[in-house]
Amino acid sequence: MSDIRPPVNLKIATMLDLARMLATWSQRDRPASLIHFTHEGKHIYGTLLSHHGYYEMYGLPLWIYVETDEEPTGSFLSYRSRPKEEVKFVETVESEPMVLNFPLVNLSEKLSILSL
């Protein structure tokens, strides 16, 4: 895998910010999923996206992530935009207006192409 270039890192401040990014991106392209793994005692949550049309390139690969002490407490990250913005882990998905649910994929270890 030495010929694979690493994605550009974009560290997000909070899980709420990451959920906003996932919500925005999933409306443009395709539904986004959330990757989780532990690294150096921290819980890392993120997603790999490609920013299409980046100048003359076919796309700019992005690793968008947040680093927390919180371990996941469900299989989905639920983002509610109204009446008050909220993000939380849930075990099951219920169809509600203004709520987006992103599946959580737990990795056994950090992907080798990622730098943190």
70 within some domain: yes
Q: Which residues contact 108 (CB under 8 A, 6 or more apart)?
A: 37
43 within some domain: yes
81 within some domain: yes
116 within some domain: no
Total structural domains in the chain?
A: 1
111 within some domain: no
75 within 8 A of 104, measured Cβ to Cβ: yes
For the whole model, what pTM was predicted?
Answer: 0.85
Strand order in the sheet with 76-80: 8-11, 59-68, 42-52, 34-39, 99-106, 76-80, 86-90
Query: Which has the higher per-residue pLDDT, 95 or 57?
Result: 95
The pLDDT tens digits for 11-34 are 999 999 999 989 887 766 567 789
Q: Evaluate if residue 7 carries a pLDDT over 80.
A: yes
Q: Evaluate if residue 73 carries a pLDDT over 90.
A: yes
115 within some domain: no
Q: 51 lies in which domain range?
A: 8-106
1 within some domain: no
114 within some domain: no
